[in-house]
Amino acid sequence: MRATTIHAPGDIRVEDVPDPTLTAPTDAIVRVVRGCICGSDLWPYRGENDITAGDTIGHECIGVVEEVGAEVTRFRAGDFVVVPFDHCDNTCAHCRAGAHSACVNMSMTTSGQAEYARVGQADGSLVATERTEDEDELASLLALSDVMPTGWHAAVSAGVQQGGSAVVVGDGAVGLCGVLAASAMGAEKVIVMSRHEPRQAIAREFGATHVVAERGREGSAAVKEITDGVGADAVLECVGTDQAMGTAFSVARPGSTVGFVGVPHGVELPVQRMFSKNVGLRGGIAPVRRYLPELLDLVQSGRIAPGRVFDATMDLVDSPEGYRAMDERRAIKVMLRP
């Protein structure tokens, strides 16, 4: 099959690689209809993560089931499915507690930017829906494989409440989905920290009531002013850098929680502030399967349209350009057509 591979920082290629095969009776093979590039894919692209040259890359996709293992009973060839990037059996003790991303049988999609992907624990992971040819609907369904549940997880972890205030640190696709989540959960003030006008526009479309372009102390002061000197009731950290985490804690009111979903790189927690202000920290890898049924209902009812975060669509063969566009911030999130 044709697949996106990574060979070194900045070296993305589209090559022929072996088709994925069933390796366990609980597996399924999915023919990818749409895949995409994730902001977290930029960490290895920029040389921040270790790379094994020639590995496939990409963990977000939707598609059609091609083949299932002998123990898969809920799906069959021809089913159109959303593929959570983190696979789970949906039955273990951790899944039952809502921590699907720590399932004892967890695996992850490794060839979402390709023609086919293998899904572990297919019965527990996959969620079927009606096939559509509408590009906007496909985009929103694709967003449910990772980026929207990740933004939702930030909001849940931060404890966003009806009528409260929420600050979103980060204006990438996850941050924008965090804005959408906070708005859908009923936050009265949704403040996004963003310096980029196209992203600000989408944030407002998703329900942001305020935009703060300042950084550092000026940004914190702006948030304090918007929140009447109190600080935010909930903070969503959607970047993963030390600066972003520091900003998140600086705008959090005493007794609140920072929900973090940005993959941490070089983060040092302000433990003294956390202690003295009683500010908590929750989050991590999004348990996508936990949220997927609810989010699918919200998409199908028209209440949310997270596919708006895709501002560029390319053929799979052009995925190297997709990486460049996202790295240079010419695109927020790139959808790929195999």
Class of domain 148-283: alpha beta
Q: Map residue 161 onto helix, strand or coil.
A: coil
Element (H, E) at 29: strand 28-36
Q: Are the C-beta atoms of 213 and 229 separated by less than 8 Å?
A: no
pLDDT at site 16: 98
Per-residue pLDDT reduced to its tens digit, 41-51: 999 999 999 99
Q: Where are the domains of the chain?
A: 2-146+287-337, 148-283
Q: Map residue 329 onto helix, strand or coil.
A: coil
| Over residues 239-244, mean pLDDT | 96
- The band of 149, judged by pLDDT with boundaries at 50, 70 and 90, is very high
Q: Map residue 252 onto helix, strand or coil.
A: strand
- Beta bridge partners, 34, equal 62
Per-residue pLDDT reduced to its tens digit, 195-240: 999 999 999 999 999 999 999 999 999 999 999 999 999 999 999 9
Q: Assign domain 2-146+287-337 to its CATH architecture.
A: Alpha-Beta Complex (3.90)
Provide CB contacts within 8 A for 326, sequence distance 6+: 37, 39, 42, 332, 333, 334
Give the closest residue to 198 by CA, choosing from 159, 171, 217, 220: 171
Per-residue pLDDT reduced to its tens digit, 264-319: 999 999 999 999 999 999 999 999 999 999 999 999 999 999 999 999 999 999 99
pLDDT at site 189: 98
Summary mean pLDDT of the chain: 97
pLDDT at site 225: 97
pLDDT at site 122: 98
| Over residues 23-52, mean pLDDT | 97
Q: Write down the pTM of the prediction.
A: 0.97
CB count in 10 Å sphere of residue 78: 9
pLDDT at site 157: 98
d(CA 61, CA 118): 11
Query: Sign of torsion, CA 327 46 318 143?
Result: negative
Q: What percent of the chain lies above the pLDDT cut of 70?
A: 100
pLDDT at site 121: 98
Q: How distant is the alpha carbon of residue 98 from its chain centre?
A: 17
Give the closest residue to 238 by CA, choosing from 142, 169, 302, 185: 169
pLDDT at site 64: 98
Q: Which two tokens stand for residue 143?
A: 């967003």
pLDDT at site 84: 98
Crossing angle of helices 147-158 and 288-300, in 10° steps, is 110
Per-residue pLDDT reduced to its tens digit, 80-115: 999 999 999 999 999 999 999 999 999 999 999 999
| Over residues 131-157, mean pLDDT | 97
Query: Sign of torsion, CA 93 57 319 11?
Result: positive
| Over residues 142-155, mean pLDDT | 98
Q: Which two tokens stand for residue 192?
A: 């996004």
d(CA 171, CA 178): 9
Q: Map residue 69 onto helix, strand or coil.
A: coil
Strands 210-212 and 189-193: parallel
